[in-house]
Amino acid sequence: MKTFSIVTLGCKVNAYESEYYREVLIKKNYEEAEGFEDSDLIIINTCTVTNQASFKSRQKINQAKKLNPSAKLVVVGCYVQSNHEELQEKYNIDLLIGNKNKDRFAELIDSMDESMSSDFSMPKTFENIPITNFKNKTRAFLKIQDGCNQFCSYCIIPYTRGRERSLAQDDVIEMVKQLEKDHLEIVLAGIHTGKYGTDIKCNLSDLIQRMLNETKIERIRLSSIDINEVDDQLIELIKNNRRLAQHLHISLQSGDDEVLKLMNRPYTTNQFRERIKQIRKEIPNISISTDVIVGFSNETDEKFENTLNFINEIGFSFLHVFPYSIRKFTKAAQFEQLNSEETKKKRVHILTERSKVLYEQYLKSLVGSKVSVLIESKDERGVYGFSSAYDCVSIPEMSELSHAIIDCVIVASDHDTLTAKPL
């Protein structure tokens, strides 16, 4: 029996797509191997959102070639879409697949020994690549949207993923019904998840309402969303349905209006602030986390200080912090760059440390509260899982894994973990 292995870099959408590749290969009677050395076929699902992501993509390609030069090598995804000419010239790769024709993966695998040219044009329709489960995951990602029309000045993704396009609602519902057989939680994922439905005359809240009405999935979680996409309908759904995760990851990127404008972000700090107030007024206990980019083109020390102050004012649960990375194709690549790599590292460190403090404060505020925990793992001290707000919770009084969501009360917090006891 032929063997395969898959390495996935980047986002939840890539993770979903890799799961599709895995299911395709298993249906073709391949067996999944432990690593590169044991594989007849190696799939590397790449990312290029930052320079570091591109480096890791090349690193994995080189590693595969070094550890198993006789294996067939397939490289797929965003780095291929943006750098296919380089990959064709410098690497001996058996098959390159950009972000089009992923739904033809089985056919492309079958024909990769033939002389054929790959299609690196942008996909114009949503390619439906259904899966039946998510291997070794208590929760499953579900790709409902692809592409982005925003064109933030720093972001390469619209140039690799193409325009916004959505999976039909009926197809989403059908897949949820399949996934709920093995999974208690589904994470709705996309390149620009909050823009789901713009091309098919509906919206994300409409889809979620149908999922609540027509499926039995116990918990629905959203991946990253922009502040202007958290509409009143979505707030009401989260407020009134405990099946919806009580957590929103809302990208900020900067807390300075001049930086936001140059980034081409579709909001001001005041608009962000007022919407957060409205969300918390309606859902007082909701957890709100965010993404921040530091060291962008026009971010002076003063503008960075504005971001730090704004983060403190909003009081996020935690931050994901990234140094600005110049990407080809983007408008910002032509801007004057004020910040050295050393400056970026310092600012990343400052915000990373601030995130730790914010998270510890947030966790301490939860002591005494009731939470529902999706059990996912165990060790000698008990079982662990994640709450609706996506907080890691330890339950020492339980010793056996349970495929269930358990109601608990938080009794203690310690750095990045909560301790609870079952109700």
Residues 44-54, mean pLDDT to the nearest whole number: 96
In this structure, is the dihedral angle defined by the CA atoms of residues 136, 139, 144 and 145, taken in order, positive or negative? Answer: negative
Q: How far apart are the first and last CA of the chain?
A: 49
In this structure, is the dihedral angle defined by the CA atoms of residues 332, 333, 339 and 345, taken in order, positive or negative? Answer: positive
Q: Same domain for 57 and 7? A: yes
Mark which of 198, 214, 245 sits at the end of a domain.
Answer: 245
Instruction: Count CB atoms within 10 A of the CB of residue 407.
Output: 12
Query: Which CATH number covers residue 296?
Result: 3.30.750.200
Q: Same domain for 193 and 235? A: yes
Domain assignment of residue 154, yes or no: yes
Q: Same domain for 320 and 345? A: yes
Q: Same domain for 266 and 186? A: no
Mark which of 245, 261, 295 sits at the end of a domain.
Answer: 245
Total structural domains within the chain: 4
Q: Same domain for 145 and 252? A: no
Q: Is residue 115 over pLDDT 70? A: no
> Which residue type does 329 have?
F
Query: Which CATH number covers residue 387?
Result: 2.40.50
Domain assignment of residue 167, yes or no: yes
Q: Is residue 114 over pLDDT 80? A: no
Domain assignment of residue 118, yes or no: no
- Tell me how far apart the alpha carbons of residues 339 and 154 are, in angstroms, rounded to a whole number: 15
Q: Same domain for 251 and 361? A: yes
- Residue 308: how many CA atoms within 13 Å on its side-chain side? 18
Q: Same domain for 295 and 360? A: yes
pLDDT in tens, 363-406: 999 999 999 999 998 888 889 999 999 999 999 988 787 789 99
Which tokens in the block code for residue 272? 């962000």
Q: Same domain for 356 and 253? A: yes
Q: Same domain for 315 and 412? A: no
Domain assignment of residue 352, yes or no: yes
User: Helix (H, G, I), strand (E, B), or coil: what is residue 336?
Assistant: coil
Structural domain harbouring 235: 137-245
87-91, 150-154, 182-186, 205-209: least confident range? 87-91
Q: Same domain for 221 and 312? A: no
> Which residue type does 382 have?
G
Q: Note the pLDDT of residue 401.
A: 75
Q: Note the pLDDT of residue 264.
A: 98
Residues 141-156, mean pLDDT to the nearest whole number: 98
* pLDDT-based confidence at residue 149 (cuts at 50, 70, 90): very high
Q: Same domain for 7 and 79? A: yes
Mark which of 192, 215, 245 sits at the end of a domain.
Answer: 245
* pLDDT-based confidence at residue 116 (cuts at 50, 70, 90): low
Domain assignment of residue 132, yes or no: no
Domain assignment of residue 125, yes or no: no
Percentage of the chain lying above the pLDDT 70 cut: 99
Nearest to 210 by CA among 250, 168, 248, 182: 168
pLDDT in tens, 151-169: 999 999 999 999 999 999 9
pLDDT in tens, 246-262: 999 999 999 999 999 99
Q: Is residue 271 over pLDDT 70? A: yes
Mean pLDDT of the chain: 95
Which tokens in the block code for residue 142? 């579900």
Domain assignment of residue 27, yes or no: yes
Q: Note the pLDDT of residue 117.
A: 63
Q: Cβ-count burial of 299 within 10 angstroms (0-12 exposed, 13-18 middle, 19+ buried)?
A: buried
Instruction: Count CB atoms within 10 A of the CB of residue 117.
Output: 5
- Tell me how far apart the alpha carbons of residues 36 and 19 are, in angstroms, rounded to a whole number: 17
Domain assignment of residue 116, yes or no: no
Q: Same domain for 146 and 211? A: yes
- Tell me how far apart the alpha carbons of residues 215 and 260 are, in angstroms, rounded to a whole number: 39
Does pTM surpass 0.75?
Answer: yes
Q: Is residue 353 over pLDDT 60? A: yes
Q: Note the pLDDT of residue 104.
A: 94
Query: Which CATH number covers residue 166?
Result: 3.30.750.210
